[in-house]
A and B are shown apart, each in its own frame.
Chain A
Amino acid sequence: MKHLYLTFLLLGVAGAAHAQQPAATVIAVPPLTSPDNGDKGNQMLAVGWDATQLIAADLGQTAELMPLKPNRDDYYSYPEVTAPTFSKWRSAGAKALVTGFVQSRSDGRLTVGCYVYDVEKGRELGRKGFVVAPSDWRRAAHKCSGVAYTALTGAPGTFDTQIAYVSEISAGATKLRRIAVMDSDGTNPRYVTVGDTMVMSPRLAPKATQLAYVSFAGGRPNVRVIDLGTGKERPLLTTDAISFAPRYSPDGSRIVFSMMTGTNCDIYSVSAGGAVPRRLTTSPGVDTDPSFSPDGSTIVFESDRGGTQQLYVMNADGSGQRRISFGGGWYAAPAWSPDGQWIAFTRRGSDGRRIGIVKPDGTGERLLTGGPSDEAPSWAASARELLFQRGSGGRNALYRVALDGSEPRQLTTQQAASEPDWSGVMD
C-alpha cells in the first residue's frame, strides 16, 4: 500500500463554530482557483475543479450541509479567495461558502488552501492549507471538506477516513469473505486478505495505520494484526485459544478482545504490539464486544451473565462493572461514540435486529433503524452518523444513518459487504 505524506499548513483560524442547525445549511462550492499562470495555472485549475467536485460530493453526504452544484462559470480570481463576493452567494441562497486555491510548489507538490465563510454575516469561519503530492489531491480535497464541516458544525469531518469491511462473494453454497479497506467516499477499495480463509471483524486503528481482524487460518478463530503501511501481519497473541471481537483503544496503544477458556468467554486487554493479555471480566457466560470510551477510561461491553445479552460498562481495569441496558429485548455489539455522548448497539427483539443509541448512563435510548436484519454499528469520527450492516434477501450491504432520525442510505460497494468499521481522521 502506498505511503501518504501530507503536511499541514496552519494559515490561522478565525471565527468560532456555528451552533448546530436543524435544517441542512446550503453551502456554495465554486471551483478552486489558482495563483499560477500559463500552462501551470491551467493544470492547477484542472486539479482544483476535480477537488471542488469532490468537496461538494463529500459535503452532500452529510446530514447537516447541502452544497449547491459546483459551476465552472463561477470562476473567481486568487485575491477573491479571501475577499469573496458575498452578495452573489446570498442571492444564490447559500448560507455558507468554501473558497480556495491550488498552487504548484517548486518541490513538485501542491498547496491546497481552503477558506470557509458565513455568507450572511460576511465573515470568515476558518481556513487551512495542505501540502500534498499531486497524486494525493483527493486527500487534500477531503481535508478541505473537513475544514468546512468542522467550521460549520463544530464536529470533526469524516472525509479523510477509511472504512474497513468484509467483502462477500457468493460462490455456490459458501461465501468468499475478504477483508477490504476503502476511502470513506467508497473509492479506492483494497483487499487486505485473499479469500482463502474465513475472516471476520475487521477493526481499524484510530488513524487507519493498522487493522485487527479475526482469521480462521489455523482452524479456529484468532485475532491477527496487519500493518496497513507495510502489509506485515502477525497474530495478536501467542496462544491458540479462540480469540475475537478486537477493538483498538482511542490512542491505538491497546486492543481489547474476547477469548475463550473452556466454556467461559471473557474480555481481555493487551498492548497492540502484543504481550501478555490482562483479563478484565471473570463472569461465567459470554462477555464480548468491548469498546472504549473516547478518553480510554471506561469500556462498554455485552454480557449474557444475567440470562440475556445486555450492555454493561466497566473501568478500563475491569473494576466497577454495571449493567446499563434495561429496555425490552437483547442488546449487543455496543460501540462508544467518539464524542463520548452515546453508545450505539444492536437490539435483538421480536421485530428482528435494529440499531439504536443510548447514553452511557443508560438513559435516552432511541432506535435509529427499522431492521429487521441490521447489525454491527460503527461510528463516524463526527459522532453524528453510524455505519451498519443490513441484510436483505440473503445479501448484506453497508448503510449509513445520521442521529437526526433521517432514513439510512446505502453505501455503494462493488460486492456485498458486511461488518463495517469506520476509522478516525487520518494524519
Chain B
Amino acid sequence: MSKILVAAALALLGSSASAQLPGLRKRDAQPQQPVLQGIDALRAEFAAQSGGTTVYYGTDSVILGAPARASLAFQAAWLRRHPEVVVSVEGYGDAGDTRDHALAVGARRAEEVRAYLLLLGVPAAQVSTTSWGNLRPGLGRAVTILVR
C-alpha cells in the first residue's frame, strides 16, 4: 500500500480553524499547481471532480447532512469510474471530546461515509476506514477521503 499522502487534507488544514461551519467546504483551485503524476494526479483529480475530499458533521453527530451526501455522490461517481483506486475514509472526532469517545465517533463517521459510498454502488473492497479521533487537531467533526 502506498504511503498516506495528505495533499488534500493538508490543503484543508489551513482553513480548518473555520471547520465550525457544517456543510461542504470547497477547495480553492490551485493555479500554480505543477503537473502531477501518479497518485498525486489521481488525488488532485479526485478532489477536483468530486467537489472536495472532506465532509463535515454537526457536534457529536454521526448523521450525514444533505451537503455531505451531495459531495459523496460526486465522490462515489468518480470512484465507480476508477475501480482501480483504493481510498481510505478517515474520521475525526470533536476537539473538545474525551480521547476515546472522539476516536469512536470518528470511526462511526467514517463508517457512515463508507456505508453511503457502498450504497451508491462503490465496491466494498475499494473503501477502507480508520479514525484519528481528536489526535490531529484542526480537522474536527469531519471525514476525509484519501486516495491511497
Q: Which chain A residues have a beta carbon within 8 Å of chain B's beta carbons?
A: 173-174, 177, 198, 200-201, 216, 219-221, 242, 244-245, 258, 260, 262-263, 265, 286, 288-289, 302, 304, 309, 332-333, 346, 348, 352-353, 375-376, 419
Cβ of B66 < 8 Å from any Cβ of A?
A: no
Report if B100 contacts A (CB, 8 A). Answer: yes
Evaluate contact between A173 and B13: CB separation under 8 angstroms.
yes
Contact assessment for A260 and B99 in the assembled complex, using a CB-CB cutoff below 8 Å: no
Q: Are B136 and A309 in contact (CB under 8 A)?
A: no
A260 contact from B1, B97, B107, Cβ within 8 A = B107
* CB-based contact A245/B100 at 8 Å: yes
The answer to whether B105 has its CB under 8 Å from any CB of chain A is: yes
CB within 8 Å for A200 and B62 given contacts A221-B131, A286-B104: no
Q: Which of B88, B105, B107, B138 has the most CB of A within 10 A?
A: B107
Q: Collect the chain A residues with CB atoms within 8 Å of residue B75's CB.
A: none
Residues B101 and A309 in contact, CB atoms below 8 Å apart = yes
Q: Is the CB of B101 within 8 A of A419?
A: no
* CB of B96 closer than 8 Å to a CB of A: yes
Complex CA–CA separation, A230 to B130 (angstroms): 31
From B4, B62, B98, B111, contact of A219 by CB (8 A): B4
Closest 8 CB pairs of A and B: A220-B130, A332-B98, A286-B104, A265-B104, A263-B111, A245-B100, A263-B108, A288-B100
The answer, yes or no, to whether B112 is at the interface (CB within 8 Å) is yes
Who on chain B is nearest to A372 by CB?
B96
Q: How far is the CA of A375 from the CA of B133 in the complex (A)?
A: 15
Task: Give the residues in chain B near A289, CB-CB below 8 Å.
Answer: 98, 100-101
Q: Does B135 contact A (CB under 8 A)?
A: yes
Judged by a CB distance under 8 angstroms, whether B132 is at the interface is yes
B147 at interface by CB-CB < 8 Å = no
A residues near B99, Cβ cutoff 8 Å: 200-201, 333, 375-376, 419
Nearest chain A CB to B90's CB is how many angstroms away? Answer: 9
Number of residues from B at the complex interface, CB < 8 A: 28
**Could you mark each residue 108-145 of chain B with 1 if its beta carbon is under 8 Å from any beta carbon of chain A, else 0?**
10011001000000000000111111011010000000
A–B complex contacts, Cβ < 8 Å, 15 sampled? A198-B132, A200-B133, A201-B99, A219-B1, A219-B4, A220-B129, A220-B130, A242-B103, A260-B104, A260-B107, A260-B111, A265-B108, A304-B101, A309-B101, A332-B100
Q: How far is the CA of A260 from the CA of B101 in the complex (A)?
A: 12
Q: Point out the residues of chain A lying under 8 angstroms from B136, CB to CB.
A: 174
Alpha-carbon separation in the docked complex, A376 to B135 (Å): 14
A348 to B108, CA, bound (A): 20
B101 touches A288 (CB 8 A): yes
Shortest Cβ distance from residue B17 to the other chain A in the assembled complex, whole angstroms? 12
A220 touches B131 (CB 8 A): yes
Instruction: Check if A242 sits within 8 Å of B130, measured CB to CB.
Output: yes
Which residue of the partner chain B has the closest CB to A419?
B99
A260 to B105, CA, bound (A): 10
Whether the Cβ atoms of A221 and B103 lie closer than 8 Å is yes
**Which residues of A have CB within 8 Å of B115?**
262-263
CA separation between A200 and B102, bound complex, in Å?
Answer: 12
CB distance from A232 to the nearest CB of B (A): 26
- Given the known A-B contacts A244-B103, A332-B101, A353-B98, are A286 and B131 also in contact in the complex, defined by CB atoms under 8 Å? no
Check A258 against B100 for contact (C-beta < 8 Å): yes
B105 to chain A, nearest CB (A): 7
Asked if B107 and A265 sit within 8 Å, CB to CB, the answer is yes
Interface 0/1 of B8-48, CB less than 8 Å to A = 00000100000000000000000000000000000000000
Question: Which residues of A have CB within 8 Å of B128?
Answer: 219-220
| Contact across chains for A242 and B101 when beta carbons are under 8 A apart | no
- Specify the chain B residue showing the minimal Cβ separation from A198: B135
Whose C-beta in chain A lies nearest to the C-beta of B105? A286
Indicate whether A242 sits within 8 Å of B107 (C-beta atoms), given known contacts A198-B135, A219-B4, A220-B130: yes
Q: Are B135 and A200 in contact (CB under 8 A)?
A: yes
Enumerate chain B residues within 8 angstroms of A219, measured Cβ to Cβ.
Answer: 1, 4, 88, 128, 130
Measured between beta carbons, the chain B residues less than 8 angstroms from A353 are: 96, 98
Least CB distance from A349 to B in Å reads 11
Shortest Cβ distance from B62 into A: residue: A263
Give the residues in chain A near B129, CB-CB below 8 Å: 220, 242
The minimal Cβ–Cβ distance linking B28 to chain A, given in whole angstroms, is: 19
Cα–Cα, bound, A289→B138 (Å): 24
In contact, B101 and A286 (Cβ under 8 angstroms): yes
Contact present for A348 and B104 (CB under 8 Å): no
> Most chain-B Cβ atoms within 10 A of its Cβ — which of A258, A265, A346, A419?
A265
> B98: nearest residue on chain A (CB-CB)?
A332
Residues of B within 8 A of A348 (CB): 96-98
Q: Which residues of B contact A333 (CB under 8 A)?
A: 98-100
B35 to chain A, nearest CB (A): 26
Interface-centre pick from A219, A258, A309 (highest chain B CB count, 10 A): A219
Q: Could you say which of A198, A286, A302, A375 contacts B108, with CB atoms under 8 Å apart?
A: A286
A174 to B101, CA, bound (A): 21
Supply 20 further A-B pairs (C-beta < 8 A) apart from A260-B104, A262-B111: A198-B132, A200-B99, A219-B88, A220-B128, A220-B130, A220-B131, A221-B130, A245-B100, A245-B103, A258-B104, A262-B115, A263-B62, A265-B107, A289-B98, A332-B101, A333-B100, A346-B98, A348-B98, A352-B96, A353-B96
